[in-house]
Chain A
Amino acid sequence: SQELEQSPQSLIVQEGKNLTINCTSSKTLYGLYWYKQKYGEGLIFLMMLQKGGEEKSHEKITAKLDEKKQQSSLHITASQPSHAGIYLCGADFSGGYQKVTFGIGTKLQVIP
């Protein structure tokens, strides 16, 4: 089974609607990355959460880390077609040299 489970796996929303993507870990989380990917391209760094309870925002995207629940959520407010893509959460369980484990991704489509 996946160490990082993302839900939902795909999402279709009307432009202007809010949405939430969740990432749940089967292991203790010490930090979590969120990336966005356009199909067949590289990953664009969105934000990184390093402490329990931490919340970060960038433009209309907000991410929170709940260490007790071993979960992170990514919330998009007033979605736009430019938000479409694949959202991936990643976590480093190594505790040492970087080795990031990623979730399978959430595919987001925004309908104008």
Chain B
Amino acid sequence: KAGVTQTPRYLIKTRGQQVTLSCSPISGHRSVSWYQQTPGQGLQFLFEYFSETQRNKGNFPGRFSGRQFSNSRSEMNVSTLELGDSALYLCASSLAGLFNEKLFFGSGTQLSVL
């Protein structure tokens, strides 16, 4: 079974631009979560999607948005990039996104904002 796939692996953008990251969950998994990891703040929850609906959201500004497609694949978008958005963005999938369910992570997209 293929794992969680994230593309691209690396991205370099400049301030003010926007970026879209993609995540394909493990086959059969319907929940996709996104996390931001920085050296100072660690891993922080962005949002969780199930059946194309956002069910949970972390404390991030509205510049961070996401969506999920009918095949459970998900995209995350960051508009008007700031230097502080430089981070490793990790996507995770699970069967139904329920409390205390096993969560599997992709390799991440390393975003650098110049």
> Quick one: which of B89-110 are within 8 Å of A by CB?
90, 92, 94, 97-108, 110
Count of residues in A whose CB is under 8 Å from the partner chain? 28
Q: How far apart are the CA atoms of A50 and B48 in the complex, in Å?
A: 21
A33 interface residue (CB < 8 Å to B): yes
B58 interface residue (CB < 8 Å to A): yes
Contacts A40-B88, A42-B4; A98 near B99 (Cβ below 8 A): yes
List the A residue with the shortest CB-CB distance to B40. Answer: A104
A45 and B103 contacting across the interface, CB-CB below 8 Å: yes
- Could you tell me the dominant secondary structure of chain B's interface residues? strand
B78 interface residue (CB < 8 Å to A): no
A112 interface residue (CB < 8 Å to B): no
List 8 tightest A-B contacts by C-beta distance, closest first: A102-B43, A43-B105, A42-B107, A31-B100, A42-B105, A104-B42, A97-B55, A98-B97
Interface residues in chain B, defined as those with a beta carbon under 8 Å from any beta carbon in chain A: 4, 6, 31, 33, 35, 42-43, 45, 48, 50, 55-56, 58, 88, 90, 92, 94, 97-108, 110
